[in-house]
Structure 1
Amino acid sequence: MRDFMDYVLTAFHINTGWNVDNSYASLTTTANHLLDFDVPHGLSLHVSSLSSPNFATSYTLGSKGVVDGSLSFLYSSLGQNITSRSSHIPLENLIRGYRQLRQLSLPKAKALNQLQDDKSNTNTGRKDTLLYGRLYLPSSSLEALYLRRLSPNRLLRLNCVSDATLPNGGTVLALLQNDFGKYITEYLYSTDSSLLGFRGLWNFGYDPRVPLDEQHVSSRPPRHPWDHQNGRLSAGAEAYFSPINKSGGISTGLRFTTLPIHSGFPYTMTLTLNPLMGNLSSSYAVKAGPNLSLCSQFDFNVYSYESDVSLGLELWQMGRPRTSEEVAWAKDLIRPGWGTKVVPEKVVPDEDVTGVLKARMTDKGRASVVWECRVKELLVTLGAGLDLKKRESVVGRFGLEIAYSS
């Protein structure tokens, strides 16, 4: 389940008009949500609060053989007017599940915070900023995040980690993203080995920079998923190099996903390739019904001929019918990163989600099961990791997470 700080961070992206899905790093997000979900380990308690629209805090206490925990603080220059009480937050805004993407749109900045001067082509308002810090106890390691909207189509991100066990006591990762709607470019630098990198993603078909009547697009209804109105094909690549280690790497990937206008089942297909390591991965995810999502993934290495097959499912348990006010509010936040708040009726469930069952299994006999639900004022995550080939110790991992926010 998405933790409270990630929930606030998602709201920041939405309220500032930034599309996190238009990135090479998010190419396989749908498959990752359905197959690579976290299984709780031990007992963990989370208490969070949005004390003001600009400031949030979170405290964690865990037990994994030893008692540990963390303290988190978040500040945003843009007030986040969101529901923060755990009993009122719709579960679909906290569940990492099938990700339904929308049609592309240009990044937009809030008129009150980022005003664009058409004559000088410069920003005349303040730039939205987010600061986040988390201190882990008893290790005293520290992680921090700095986000700043430099312009409507540019975002600067700094990730910092301070830990005595790391070389030089810590590391800093800088990422500059330039989103032009049709394509996005990303430049990164890490103080760890002075790593330099570049990522890019290109979307075929519809161009949000050009008016629709100038793109020579047929006005007829889309007949098959490959029409630009029905789906979107994206291709991207990344390359990185370390002058200190004199080593680097490259990867490339494809993604096709249906859009909400598609009349059939929503589905997403991805293919990624790392030619230096010889790794090939393909995935297929489908929302088979209003409450059911399925995913399969095949990994293969062309050098060692090793392969791995993973299967996963996500089943939503529905409860009471939603009120009109809850449906209207859910349209604003459901499926973060769309870059727009106009959501088709069929995307927002007519009933409140009371629980979600996630399960995955590999051809090696390893399985994981997680149940996420709400119990009165609390958000509960219960999960277990299984190894079906070990008859003496089938359950290898078991955990319970309880979260409360106000």
Structure 2
Amino acid sequence: MLAFMDYVQHAFFNASQWNHDNSYSTLTATAKALLDFDSPRGVRLHVSSLAAPNFASSYTLGTVGVVDGSISYLYSSLPLKLESKSSDIDLHRVIRGYRHLQELRSPDEAHWWEVWHHGRRVDRKNALLYGRLYLPRSALEALYLRRLSPTRQLKIACVSDPRLVNGGNILALLQNDYGKYSTEYLYSTDSGLLGVRGLFNFGPDPRKSAGVSSGYQEPLYGRFSAGAELYYGILNKSGGVSTGLRFTTLPQHTGFPYTMTLTLNPLMGNLSSTYAVKAGQNLALCSQFDFNFYSYESDIQLGCELWRRRGTQEVDWAKKLLRPDWTNPSPRPDEDVSGVLKAKVDQNWKISVVWEGRIKELLFTLGASFDLKRREQVFRAVGVELQYSS
């Protein structure tokens, strides 16, 4: 489940009209949402608040061996309109599940963002600031996001931790999104890493189709994308390259939604393929196969998510119980959802299961992981996370 601060950051992307999915770094986001979830360990409590449309805070307390926690604050120059109470947040926005990619949109014209007053340009570039302090080890992380133009965004992430080499690291990322394609340029102080990424979407160009005011346009049922990444470490004089393909169905597709990806790292010899399908309204399935053609080692993972929904009579009864004066119903999108079950297993019979949902005023994640090959210690981890926000 997304932490409250990640939920607010996604709201900033939506408010500033930034397509977070049109990037090579999110090429396999659908499979990761279904397979790359971690089971909570111990007990962890998050208390968060959106005190103002521009300011949010969050406090975390956990017990994993020792008592630890964190304090985080976020500021956005762009007022964010979102549900902040944990009792009102749409579960679909905080639970990572099958990702339905939407049609590409044309970026705004640069002059649309201009604001003039008495002959002077007074508009400002929207920015987001985020900081988090981990206790008791006094590690600090910070994030700076700035929308430079309708097609460009700057992201700077910093980490200060005595356990890291040189005591910390800074990552700068310049992102460009033109709809039809996107590019990213990155620099990291760790090994002096330089990198470039790119993603190209086949099919019509949204910048050209946006200008068509008349005439019939055949709807798009799927999108094929291809991308690559190249990086080089100046200090250690080593580099890497990867490439990937993705095909996903769009909302106009009348059958089961599905997403297929294939990624290749030729220098390391790693080949990975994923297939995710929304098999029904409440069920999604995913598989991932990894193979190294240098060592001939392979891995396979299978995962699923199952949304549990309440019956119509149960929903109506809950409405009357919670709101006896119900006259003009305006139900939440997830009002009939009582929880989501996620499970995954690999070829070594390592199993992880989590149950996510809402109870009263709290969002919760209850999970456990097992290793069936270790008969003397089958349970690897058991835990629960609770989130409350206002």
Residues 4-403 of structure 1: pairs in structure 2 closer than 5 A: 4-108=4-108, 114-115=113-114, 125-211=123-209, 219=217, 229-319=220-310, 320=315, 325-326=330-331, 351-403=335-387
- Residues of 2 paired with 1:143 and 1:271: CA distance? 33
CA contact (8 A) 2:292 2:298 kept: yes
- Residues of 2 paired with 1:77 and 1:110: CA distance? 19
Does the C-alpha gap of structure 1 residues 111 and 38 become closer, same or farther in structure 2, counting only changes over 3 Å? farther
1:176 is paired with a residue of what secondary structure?
strand
User: Which blocks of at least 5 consecutive residues in structure 1 are unaligned?
Assistant: 223-228, 331-348
Distance apart, 1:109 and its partner CA: 8.6
Does the C-alpha gap of structure 1 residues 170 and 212 become closer, same or farther in structure 2, counting only changes over 3 Å? closer
- Residues of 2 paired with 1:312 and 1:324: CA distance? 36
Calculate percent identity across the aligned residue pairs: 63
Distance apart, 1:115 and its partner CA: 2.4
Structure 1 residue identity aligned to 2:247: F
CA contact (8 A) 1:242 1:248 kept: yes
Distance apart, 1:368 and its partner CA: 0.2
- Residues of 1 paired with 2:211 and 2:148: CA distance? 31
Distance apart, 1:326 and its partner CA: 4.1
Does the C-alpha gap of structure 1 residues 213 and 109 become closer, same or farther in structure 2, counting only changes over 3 Å? closer
TM-score, structure 1 normalization: 0.87
1:289 is paired with a residue of what secondary structure?
coil
- Residues of 1 paired with 2:143 and 2:121: CA distance? 23
TM-score, structure 2 normalization: 0.91
- Residues of 2 paired with 1:358 and 1:214: CA distance? 43
Does the C-alpha gap of structure 1 residues 246 and 359 become closer, same or farther in structure 2, counting only changes over 3 Å? same
- Residues of 2 paired with 1:243 and 1:187: CA distance? 15
The alignment covers a number of residue pairs equal to 373
Distance apart, 1:391 and its partner CA: 1.3
- Residues of 2 paired with 1:275 and 1:156: CA distance? 30
Q: Deviations over 1:33-77 (max 9, x none)?
A: 000112101110110000111000000000111000000100000
Structure 1 residue identity aligned to 2:273: S
Distance apart, 1:287 and its partner CA: 0.4
User: Which blocks of at least 5 consecutive residues in structure 2 are unaligned?
Assistant: 320-327
Distance apart, 1:166 and its partner CA: 1.5
- Residues of 2 paired with 1:8 and 1:237: CA distance? 29
- Residues of 1 paired with 2:110 and 2:361: CA distance? 33
2:99 is paired with a residue of what secondary structure?
coil
CA contact (8 A) 2:301 2:347 kept: yes
CA contact (8 A) 1:17 1:109 kept: no
2:104 is paired with a residue of what secondary structure?
coil
- Residues of 1 paired with 2:230 and 2:48: CA distance? 38
- Residues of 1 paired with 2:207 and 2:110: CA distance? 19
1:164 is paired with a residue of what secondary structure?
coil
Q: Deviations over 1:1-37 (max 9, x none)?
A: 1110001001000010000000000000000000011
Distance apart, 1:219 and its partner CA: 4.2
- Residues of 2 paired with 1:386 and 1:111: CA distance? 56
- Residues of 2 paired with 1:110 and 1:93: CA distance? 30
Q: Deviations over 1:214-238 (max 9, x none)?
A: 79x9745x6xxxxxx0000000000
Q: C-alpha root-mean-square deviation of aligned residues, in Å?
A: 2.3
- Residues of 2 paired with 1:388 and 1:325: CA distance? 46
Does the C-alpha gap of structure 1 residues 123 and 159 become closer, same or farther in structure 2, counting only changes over 3 Å? farther
Distance apart, 1:325 and its partner CA: 3.5
Q: Deviations over 1:143-183 (max 9, x none)?
A: 00000000010000000000112122111000000111000
CA contact (8 A) 1:109 1:115 kept: no
CA contact (8 A) 1:123 1:151 kept: no
- Residues of 2 paired with 1:123 and 1:94: CA distance? 38
Distance apart, 1:242 and its partner CA: 1.1
- Residues of 2 paired with 1:106 and 1:219: CA distance? 16
Structure 2 residue identity aligned to 1:195: L
- Residues of 1 paired with 2:251 and 2:266: CA distance? 34
Structure 2 residue identity aligned to 1:34: L
Distance apart, 1:110 and its partner CA: 11
CA contact (8 A) 2:106 2:210 kept: no
CA contact (8 A) 1:198 1:239 kept: yes
- Residues of 2 paired with 1:143 and 1:240: CA distance? 24
